[in-house]
Copies of this chain bind each other. A is one copy, B any other.
């Protein structure tokens, strides 16, 4: 194996290396692979962990919730009180500050942004009637978040991620001075795609924001709140507690779900906020639905029981995910570290590893992989409008493929990263 970085290698050695990699790449391509590392989709063996949940309810079960509501019938628009309590514990807020919904927290975020756009928050006019509306998008970030703001025609302002979370100097500057800035997308624990957990200082600075807009909201998507993949889990300071100290509890809207705890397609989602925030949300909710699927809420409650139940289950997810993350990290380390053409995150939880390849190469790497049968998240997806200004960031999602498939896919990926780098270096040498 080559132990010199490409930068320090003489031109002839680079040409030799490139020829060798091209041959290797062609050999992979000839294998007709069909591997997918594109989405944060739990693997089949993870789904098996929650199969006992499917035995919890049957035709002999009691379908009455704690307060006597028949979960089969209409009503209880905020969700079952005991499920609100469950999510309150998960999110670190009071049960009464929680609304439990259907199977999709993305849908709840979409509707919350829609509430801002067309109903308004905190007694202000709807955002749609206030001219330009801006959201801050810490980048790299989650493509589905950016998709929601793009759908509503909201201008997205990129703020760089640091190892402590979004660059708070930039966030404060924007939020505290520009009344058009109405929101920020946050994945505060094990961020998508870097796996960064916001530092205590970052959380405190969020709580201490003094927004120029009275109707500014922090969209706090705590999707990975219990999703550790190592034995050194991160801890996240409780934003709502910090907000209460600052008198800013109207700022955040918190979201989470059991999608990556039980079943991605049939989990339960929830949101939380201050009394004022939920009053705004409920104005819409009352007209929108007669109530969520309470049978699935009941099934989840009786299966997961409480935070201890969740932790025990997440421990087993960890046992399945950790080896997969290790394959990605080990392969990157072995194949890319020596030649110095990429850097990557080393997360303690979440669903992704973020790789920065040589600038200007990400799109090409994704193409090379695709042509060799390995599907990655589109390059640029971690930036608004799919446009990564440096064309460098690629999100790796190790959860879905098997261990063996993942190793094959990572071998292809590393060859592609090196090949793209060498093509670029030789082009710039000409």
Question: Once bound together, how far apart are the Cα atoms of A101 and B261, in whole Å?
Answer: 22
Number of identical monomers bound together in the oligomeric complex: 2
Tell which of B51, B73, B117, B259 touches A59, judged by Cβ atoms closer than 8 Å. B51
A296 near B266 with CB under 8 A, answer: yes
Question: Once bound together, how far apart are the Cα atoms of A118 and B128, in whole Å?
Answer: 10
**Chain B residue at smallest Cβ distance from A69:** B265
Query: Which of A36-44, A246-254, A367-375, A414-422 forms contacts with chain B?
Result: A36-44
Say if the beta carbon of A47 comes within 8 Å of chain B: yes
Supposing A59-B55, A287-B147 touch, asked if A74 and B293 sit within 8 A by C-beta, the answer is no
B265 near A295 with CB under 8 A, answer: yes
Supposing A59-B52, A266-B295 touch, asked if A290 and B74 sit within 8 A by C-beta, the answer is no
- A117: which B residues are within 8 A, CB to CB? 118
Nearest-Cβ distance from residue A26 to partner chain B, whole angstroms: 31
Say if the beta carbon of A110 comes within 8 Å of chain B: yes
Tell which of B51, B114, B263, B288 touches A107, judged by Cβ atoms closer than 8 Å. B288
Say if the beta carbon of A58 comes within 8 Å of chain B: yes
Question: Once bound together, how far apart are the Cα atoms of A292 and B281, in whole Å?
Answer: 21
Question: Once bound together, how far apart are the Cα atoms of A106 and B107, in whole Å?
Answer: 15
Max chain B CB contacts within 10 Å: which of A148, A150, A294?
A294
Nearest-Cβ distance from residue A125 to partner chain B, whole angstroms: 13
- Indicate with 1 or 0, residue by residue over A92-118, a CB within 8 angstroms of chain B CB atoms: 000000000011101100100010011
Interface residues of A in 54-83 (CB under 8 A from B): 54-55, 57-59, 61, 63, 70-76
B294 near A266 with CB under 8 A, answer: yes
Nearest-Cβ distance from residue A94 to partner chain B, whole angstroms: 25
Nearest-Cβ distance from residue A37 to partner chain B, whole angstroms: 15
Say if the beta carbon of A291 comes within 8 Å of chain B: yes
Say if the beta carbon of A31 comes within 8 Å of chain B: no
- Indicate with 1 or 0, residue by residue over A286-321, a CB within 8 angstroms of chain B CB atoms: 111111111110000000000000000000000000
- A296: which B residues are within 8 A, CB to CB? 266, 293, 296
Supposing A59-B54, A106-B288 touch, asked if A264 and B148 sit within 8 A by C-beta, the answer is no
B114 near A41 with CB under 8 A, answer: no
Supposing A265-B295, A295-B266 touch, asked if A106 and B289 sit within 8 A by C-beta, the answer is yes
Nearest-Cβ distance from residue A50 to partner chain B, whole angstroms: 8
- A259: which B residues are within 8 A, CB to CB? 74
**Chain B residue at smallest Cβ distance from A107:** B289
- A110: which B residues are within 8 A, CB to CB? 287-289
Question: Once bound together, how far apart are the Cα atoms of A282 and B417, in whole Å?
Answer: 35
Supposing A118-B118, A288-B107, A290-B104 touch, asked if A264 and B72 sit within 8 A by C-beta, the answer is yes
Tell which of B144, B265, B287, B293 touches A71, judged by Cβ atoms closer than 8 Å. B265
The 9 closest A-B pairs by CB, nearest first: A266-B295, A151-B287, A51-B59, A72-B263, A74-B264, A103-B293, A110-B288, A104-B289, A107-B289
Beyond A39-B74, A265-B292: 10 further Cβ-contacts under 8 Å? A42-B73, A47-B72, A50-B72, A103-B293, A104-B289, A107-B289, A118-B128, A118-B152, A151-B287, A293-B293
